[in-house]
């Protein structure tokens, strides 16, 4: 029988430099598609590391971007995945009002994984949900390119 582990060691952490890399790549993508956005990057516990409100981004989307990032990091799944399961009569109905209404079920929040472990989340808001997701994906892609192990979702065991 394996000895129980009481403390996690050597867990990857998203640094401020990593958060800025993600933020910068996401902002470049938002500019490329012509949609100024509010972009937030949080750590694995949902604490804000970096934020950018691009000129022209919706003021009402500031809290939404932060909440999308928080939800993605803390729930360890993309916010758009909750849209269907949180509908009336579905298993997660009402989750959007949890955590003082901070839990987001609108697309644009993605968890950030490195080596299969959560390191944070990114939330983008001001565009359509598809545009928000595209910009968030671009941010994570920049980290993935630099670390070669970061990705939106860990691969299942036994897959290439």
- 67 contacts: CB under 8 Å, gap ≥ 6: 102, 103, 104, 109, 123
Look at residue 54 and tell me whether its pLDDT is greater than 70. yes
- Look at residue 157 in the predicted model and tell me its pLDDT: 46
pLDDT per residue over 104-118, tens digit each? 999 999 999 998 999
- Look at residue 10 in the predicted model and tell me its pLDDT: 80
pLDDT per residue over 108-152, tens digit each? 999 999 989 999 999 999 999 999 999 999 999 999 998 865 555
**Which strand ranges, in their side-by-side order, compose the sheet holding 38-43?**
48-53, 38-43, 117-125, 109-114, 150-151
Classified as helix, coil or strand, 83 is helix
* Residue reference for tokens 């509908």: 87
- Look at residue 140 in the predicted model and tell me its pLDDT: 97
Higher pLDDT, 98 or 69: 69
Quote the mean pLDDT of the chain. 90
pLDDT per residue over 82-91, tens digit each? 988 888 888 8
Q: How confident is the model at residue 154 (pLDDT cuts 50, 70, 90)?
A: low
Helix 129-147 to helix 16-33 angle (10° resolution) is 140
Look at residue 22 and tell me whether its pLDDT is greater than 70. yes
- 72 contacts: CB under 8 Å, gap ≥ 6: 78, 79, 109, 110, 111, 112, 121, 122, 123
* Range of weakest confidence among 72-76, 93-97, 122-126, 145-149: 145-149
Question: Per DSSP, what are the bridge partners of residue 113?
Answer: 118, 151
């Amino acid at each position: 029988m394996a000895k129980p582990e009481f403390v996690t060691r050597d867990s990857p952490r998203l640094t401020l430099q990593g958060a800025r890399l993600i933020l910068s790549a996401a902002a470049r993508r938002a500019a490329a598609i012509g949609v100024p956005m509010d972009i937030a990057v949080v750590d694995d516990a949902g604490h804000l590391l970096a934020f950018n409100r691009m000129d022209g981004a919706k003021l009402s989307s500031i809290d939404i971007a932060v909440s999308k990032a928080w939800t993605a990091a803390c729930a360890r799944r993309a916010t758009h995945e909750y849209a269907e399961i949180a509908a009336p009569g579905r298993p997660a109905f009402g989750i959007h009002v949890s955590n003082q209404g901070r839990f987001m079920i609108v697309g644009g929040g993605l968890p950030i994984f490195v080596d299969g472990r959560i390191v944070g989340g990114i939330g983008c808001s001001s565009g359509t949900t598809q545009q928000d997701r595209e910009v968030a994906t671009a941010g994570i892609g920049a980290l993935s390119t630099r670390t070669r192990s970061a990705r939106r979702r860990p691969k299942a065991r036994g897959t290439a």
